[in-house]
Each structure stands twice: as structure tokens, then as C-alpha cells.
């Protein structure tokens, strides 16, 4: 799961200055990378998805390597992987029940991305799906 700290430590000083200006953060010394990092880390305005969107592709790849997510692909795909990783690990009960579900082809249209195992179970019952 990417943490705010992992994102901020990979961001360039120039980007940290831009973020601090964008969110109107109080920074003790705009020349100090450490002061910029502390301002961004302590701000509740700076959400992780917005920070990731402001990073360059190389910086996003660095975040992926830090948190252990596959770093191959373009920026938008990498950000999606990082945010998906965050949402899966945030909901521990769904994470424990994460399994591969095999469903009849005619039933695919009823499954939506992000559905939990229990939601799929309610829709299809015990006869249509198998876990592997």
C-alpha cells in the first residue's frame, strides 16, 4: 500500500514547492526539502491520489518499487495499481476472502469490478461459482 510518506519522499523538490503553493500550505523554509515534505505530510488537504497524479511517470515507478507493486506500464496504469492496492489492503475482510472466481460466461454481465466475494455469492448462490 502506498503511503503518503512514500509518495512525498520520491517527489522532486520542485514538485513539493508546487504542491505547497497549490494547497496553500504553511512552510517554514521553501528552500528546505525537509520542510516541504513535513508540510505536505502534515496537511489533510493533500490526498494520496492527488499527489500521485502530480508525480512524473518515473516518480510513480519509484513509488511502485518502494511499496512492492509491479512498476511496468504507463503512469495511469501504475497509479491505478497503487490505488487498487490501497483499497484492497484498507478493507482487510475482503482481502482475506480474495479468491479467483470462475463464473459461467452468460453471467459475466452481472459482475462488476470491485465487488466483494460476499456480493458475488449473494448474486449467484452456491451452484454457479467455484473458488480455486
For 101, the enclosing helix (H) or strand (E) is strand 101-102
Could you tell me the pTM of the whole model?
Answer: 0.58
- What is the chain's mean pLDDT, rounded? 76
Measured CA to CA in angstroms, residue 121 lies from 21, 97, 106, 125 at distances of: 48, 11, 16, 5
- Residue 69 confidence (pLDDT): 87
For 90, the enclosing helix (H) or strand (E) is helix 75-90
Q: Give residue-wise pLDDT tens across range 22-49.
A: 889 999 888 899 999 999 999 988 888 8
Q: Decide which of 5 and 96 is more confident.
A: 5
Measured N-to-C along each axis, helices 33-42 and 13-22 cross at an angle, to the nearest 10 degrees, of 40
Q: Give residue-wise pLDDT tens across range 90-106.
A: 444 443 444 444 555 55
How many other C-beta atoms are found inside a 10 Å radius of the C-beta of residue 12?
A: 13
Amino acid at each position: 500500500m502506498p503511503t503518503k510518506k512514500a509518495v512525498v519522499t520520491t517527489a522532486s523538490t520542485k514538485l513539493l514547492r508546487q504542491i505547497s503553493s497549490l494547497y496553500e500550505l504553511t512552510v517554514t523554509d521553501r528552500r528546505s526539502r525537509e520542510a516541504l515534505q513535513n508540510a505536505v505530510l502534515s496537511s489533510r488537504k493533500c490526498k494520496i491520489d492527488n499527489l500521485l497524479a502530480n508525480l512524473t511517470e518515473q516518480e510513480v515507478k519509484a513509488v511502485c518499487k518502494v511499496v512492492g507493486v509491479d512498476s511496468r506500464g504507463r503512469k495511469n496504469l501504475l497509479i491505478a495499481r497503487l490505488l487498487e492496492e490501497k483499497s484492497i489492503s484498507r478493507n482487510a475482510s475482503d482481502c482475506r476472502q480474495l479468491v479467483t472466481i470462475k463464473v459461467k460466461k452468460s453471467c459475466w454481465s452481472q459482475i462488476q469490478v470491485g465487488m466483494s466475494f460476499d456480493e458475488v455469492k449473494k448474486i449467484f448462490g452456491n451452484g454457479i461459482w467455484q473458488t480455486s
